[in-house]
Amino acid sequence: MGRSWPARPRTSVDSVTSVSLVERVRRANAPPPPDDSVLFRVVTMISVGTGIIACESVGELSAPIAIWAFMAVAIGMVFSYATRTRPWQWLKLVLAISVIAVFAEFVAEILRAAHTGELASIEVPLAGLFTWVQVIHAFDVPARRDLLFSLAAAAALVTIAGAQAVSSSFLVFVAIWLLSTLVGLACSWRSMTGDTRPVPVGVLAASLAAVVAVALALLVVLPQPHANQSITLPASLTSYLPLAGSGLVNGTGTHPTEPAQPGKPGGQIGVGGYVGFNGPLDIADRGSLGNEVIMRVRADRPGYFLGMTYDTWNGQSWLQSKHDLGATTLAGGSPFQIPDQSFGGQQVTSNIQTFYIEQPLPNLLFATTEPAEVYFPAHSLIVGNDGSIRSTVAMTPGTVYTVISGDDEVSPAVLATDRTSLTSQQKALPSIQAALELPYGYPRAAALARKIVSTGHATTTEAKVSALEAWIGANTEYSTSIPPLAPGEDAVNAFLFGNRKGYCEQISTALAVMLRTLGIPAREAIGYVPGPFDPLSDLYDIQAKDAHAWVQVYFPSYGWQNFDPTALVPLAAENPGSVILHDVWSRVADLPWLPIGALGGAGVAGYGYLSWERRRRRRPTTWAGQMALRLERLGSRAGIGRLPAETLAEYAARLDQALPALGLGHAAAILEASAYSPGGAPRERGVAPAGVAADEIAAVTGALDRLGHRLGHRLGRWRPSARAAT
Amino acid sequence: MSGAIILLAVWAAVAHASGSGWVQALAALAGGIMLVGLLSPRWAVRRVTVEVVGSPSDATSGQPLEVSIKATRSCRCSPIRPKGPPVLLRAGQPTKLTLQPEQRGVLGAINVRVASAAPLGLLWWSTRRRLELPRLVMIAPARGEAQGSFLLSEMGETGRGQSKLADKGELRGARPYHVGDSPRQVHWPSTAHTGSLMVRESEIHPDRPVRVVAVLPEDADLAELEASQVRSTVAALLEHRRQVVLETTEAGDQIAAVVADERSAGRRLAKAGRNPWADLGPPARAPRWTP
Residues listed for chain A: 726
Contact B24 A225 (CB under 8 A): yes
Residues of B within 8 A of A11 (CB-CB) are: 64, 100
**Measuring CA to CA, which residue among B129, B71, B91 is closest to residue B283?**
B129
Rounded Cα distance, A366 and A364, in Å: 6
B90 vs A720, residue with greater confidence? B90
Helix (H) / strand (E) element for A449: namely: helix A443-455
Note the pLDDT of residue A248: 55
Give how far A48 is from chain B: nearest CA, Å: 15
**Measuring CA to CA, which residue among A254, A60, A257 is closest to residue A173?**
A60
Contact B36 A207 (CB under 8 A): yes
The CA dihedral of A282, A285, A291, A296, to the nearest 10 degrees, is 0
Is A213 part of the contact surface with chain B (CB cutoff 8 Å)? yes
Ordered by start, the domain boundaries in chain A are 31-221, 622-711
Sign of the dihedral through C-alpha A475, A478, A479, A484: positive
A6, A164, A223 member nearest B16 (Cβ): A223
Give me the amino acid identity at A562. Answer: N
Name the closest residue on chain A to residue B147, using Cα atoms.
Answer: A1
DSSP of B168-223, one letter per residue? SSEEEEEEE--TT--GGGB-HHHHHHHSS-EEEEEEE-TTSPEEEE----SSHHHH
Looking at chain A from residue 524 to 543, which residues have their Cβ under 8 Å from any Cβ of chain B? 534-538
Residue A544 buriedness (CB in 10 A; 0-12 / 13-18 / 19+):
buried
Q: Which segments within A224-263 are labelled E, that is strand?
A: none
CB atoms within 10 A of CB B7: 14
Backbone angles phi, psi at A336, to 5 degrees: -95, 130
Is A296 part of the contact surface with chain B (CB cutoff 8 Å)? no
Identify whether the C-beta of residue B201 lies closer than 8 Å to the C-beta of residue B166. Answer: no
Note the pLDDT of residue A120: 55
Q: What percent of chain B has pLDDT over 70?
A: 84
Identify whether the C-beta of residue A365 lies closer than 8 Å to the C-beta of residue A314. Answer: no
First to last CA, chain A: 104
B74, B122, B222 member nearest A193 (Cβ): B74
- Checking if the pLDDT of B33 tops 70, the result is yes
Secondary structure letter of residue A723 according to DSSP:
P
Residues of A within 8 A of B104 (CB-CB) are: none
Ordered by start, the domain boundaries in chain B are 2-44, 163-204
Residue A111 buriedness (CB in 10 A; 0-12 / 13-18 / 19+):
exposed
Name the closest residue on chain B to residue A165, using Cα atoms.
Answer: B22
Name the closest residue on chain A to residue B82, using Cα atoms.
Answer: A13
Give how far B36 is from chain A: nearest CA, Å: 6
Instruction: List Cβ neighbours of A625 (8 Å cut-off, separation of 6 or more).
Output: A675
Rounded Cα distance, A722 and A627, in Å: 11
Note the pLDDT of residue A10: 42
Secondary structure letter of residue B96 according to DSSP:
E
> Mean pLDDT over residues B151-161, rounded?
49
Note the pLDDT of residue A723: 40
Give how far B142 is from chain A: nearest CA, Å: 7
Residues of B within 8 A of A534 (CB-CB) are: 21
B21, B40, B142 member nearest A225 (Cβ): B21
Note the pLDDT of residue A5: 36
Give how far B99 is from chain A: nearest CA, Å: 9
Rounded Cα distance, A199 and B118, in Å: 11
Provide the pairing of β-strand B164-166 with B198-204. Answer: antiparallel
Residues of A within 8 A of B44 (CB-CB) are: none
Name the closest residue on chain B to residue A202, using Cα atoms.
Answer: B119
Note the pLDDT of residue A274: 58
Note the pLDDT of residue B169: 64
A49 SS3 class: helix
**Measuring CA to CA, which residue among A474, A479, A473, A475 is closest to residue A501?**
A479
Beta bridge partners of A526: A308, A549
Is A89 part of the contact surface with chain B (CB cutoff 8 Å)? no
Note the pLDDT of residue A436: 87
The CA dihedral of B148, B149, B153, B158, to the nearest 10 degrees, is 60
Is A225 part of the contact surface with chain B (CB cutoff 8 Å)? yes
B22, B74, B84 member nearest A162 (Cβ): B22
B11, B40, B100 member nearest A11 (Cβ): B100
Name the closest residue on chain B to residue A172, using Cα atoms.
Answer: B22
Residues listed for chain B: 291
Give how far B218 is from chain A: nearest CA, Å: 16
Q: List, for chain A, all residue ranges whose pLDDT scores fall below the cut of 70.
A: 1-19, 29, 115-121, 224-279, 285-288, 321-326, 341-349, 571-583, 586, 678-691, 713-726
Beta bridge partners of B130: B111
Cis peptide before B287 (omega within 30 of 0): no
A392 vs B7, residue with greater confidence? A392
Name the closest residue on chain B to residue A185, using Cα atoms.
Answer: B120
Provide the pairing of β-strand B65-71 with A477-478. Answer: unpaired
Helix (H) / strand (E) element for A576: namely: helix A576-590
Name the closest residue on chain A to residue B145, using Cα atoms.
Answer: A6
Residues of A within 8 A of B222 (CB-CB) are: 3
Rounded Cα distance, B68 and A103, in Å: 51
> Lowest-confidence range among A532-546, B86-100, B229-243?
A532-546
**Measuring CA to CA, which residue among B116, B112, B73 is closest to residue B91?**
B73
Contact A214 B31 (CB under 8 A): yes
Identify whether the C-beta of residue B214 lies closer than 8 Å to the C-beta of residue B247. Answer: yes
Residue A498 buriedness (CB in 10 A; 0-12 / 13-18 / 19+):
middle
Give how far A535 is from chain B: nearest CA, Å: 6
Rounded Cα distance, A673 and B116, in Å: 64
Name the closest residue on chain B to residue A200, using Cα atoms.
Answer: B119
Angle at A203 between CA A197 and CA A207, to 5 degrees: 135
Identify whether the C-beta of residue A525 lies closer than 8 Å to the C-beta of residue A551. Answer: yes
**Measuring CA to CA, which residue among A546, A542, A540, A544 is closest to residue A227?**
A540
Contact A219 B26 (CB under 8 A): no
User: Could you give the residue ranges of the DSSP H alpha helices within A399-503?
Assistant: 412-416, 424-427, 430-434, 443-455, 461-475, 491-497
A541 SS3 class: strand
Rounded Cα distance, B135 and B141, in Å: 19
Angle at A153 between CA A151 and CA A154, to 5 degrees: 65
Rounded Cα distance, A482 and A494, in Å: 11
